[in-house]
Structure 1
């Protein structure tokens, strides 16, 4: 039976087939063979880390030597030789400083097209190798200088601005501002046209006659642009501005007209009228005194108008305030700086003392223009009373 069971694969010692309620067989743990004792071996030492010496990179030093040689040649104005040295330095070691130097030599040589290419190469290479912003800014600034030399002002402004974006320096900022100013000057000069200016003047005169002050100002402004050296444009615009009650602007235009033509009497008169409207009496009289001098040199054609305006300013300056007593008026007048200065003048004190004893002597002193001016001031202020 044992032989038959073995042939049929039946375990005679196990549970009978179909006996599912029997406990599962627990497999016996196999014992691993005990390793045979081994003889002790000495540990094998780890190989030592041997530092391999790399050859030093001398390309930078060599390139700097070439750059120094190029700088010496540059100072000697041997630009072709300097360019060769800078090129060799760039080929030895990639540093855009050498390209910037090469572009400087090309610029001084007058080879602007090549210098532009070198600057652009320096910018592109500098971007790729993440060069210092200051070096890239120098390349942009040199491009600006090149275009400025070629009188291409708009391109010069463009590259000066790019240089400042990379790195801001006072030198490049000043060049940018001066170039922008030059552009404006050229635009103004290109707009100058005497024929168009005369058309604008006549148009402004027509608007002024109709009482259309805003359009008159506009037309006279166009005249000024077309003929910036013609004093009439500023004086005419001042007259229109005064009608619009814009007295400070009118005074400013009159000053501009006087600057263009110091003998333009009409500009002085219009300035005095604007100052009178602003109750700047001392300034009115000062302006009219200058106007009188200029008018005398030209034949005294406007003397009556100047005198009338002067008297008007004088009377308004020292006129009695409603409800003010004569004593209060004199007290107020005595605080006027110009009146005080005249009364403290030793010469005027002597003249006034002489006039008290001999009133006719005052007429003789009035022949002196400077003394006449001061006496008229005192008369207007009520310090000297005439009958």
Structure 2
């Protein structure tokens, strides 16, 4: 197969720089390297086609190469128009992976790339936000029959999958990778926490210390964003709809209040809810002059851009990835990265060492669902604990850290109700 002629990328001349990026992350992903060694020997995907939709940058590219090393014919597309890196796409094509992706395509092109990826008739999929699954279950049901199952990366995607499952419409098993311990404890918390502020700081070049940061949503991603904001010297306010999470945020030392009140105080706003319109008209109307809005949820619907534009008298790009909206009273409100994922649309995403664990989970979960898809049936399932623990053990070994093991007597004691 000629992957150059079969792919859609911006410029194959960019491939050299893409290879350098992929080589760099490979050096910092020891867990995934170990999985790759296993896959090269065991060939779990021999003769199968795998379709991947993820943020298409270097770490994702290396995951694609690991799946390819397991015997798969891999096709990949981006899961966000502003996170695709054109040089990485070109490098993957040179490495024999079919790519349908460009940075910042128009909406029609973006959808076309998704559909072309599915038209390769994959046996397995790796999805981000449920986009591939949604297309398969709606307008392209003709491509469903060959799909054995797959794995989902995000909270948003799992919500969509569970809605399908609840309605009895899910047509194949999907592993909820986002709900694994090694995903939400490390990727969602430490990965999102660091990469969100990497993206904001790189884009704005403004100080965080002494400012007020409003974190909208206190799930694992929100916890990470709030923790890092505090570490940068900010005062942190958390808004929540869940009473338990709100108490947790309070106990963690943060102020908790409704968005209607928090909107008056924030210098920076970061949304991490997975829901729509969590910052909207009534909030824009009371914000400070110079408030900076950003989103770290999957879709660009958390900040209501339609209402923001309707309230403004003018708008302009004032710096790369910063759009200024001038209100009728002269206040200026700034939106980062078009309201898309600020850590990827305006940054390089999570650190390689963090994505090492998440993408190792993706790889082993994909192999698991391929082995067990008939027995699993049409459901959303958690990553088996033994796979989660295996990835954690590989990480410890890569770090040179040892831990204790139970003795036979201790195991017997824990399994007994008699002292």
TM over 0.5: no
TM-score under structure 2 normalisation?
Answer: 0.19
Which is helix-richer, 1 or 2?
1
TM-score under structure 1 normalisation?
Answer: 0.21
Looking at CA atoms only, which structure, 1 or 2, has the larger radius of gyration?
1
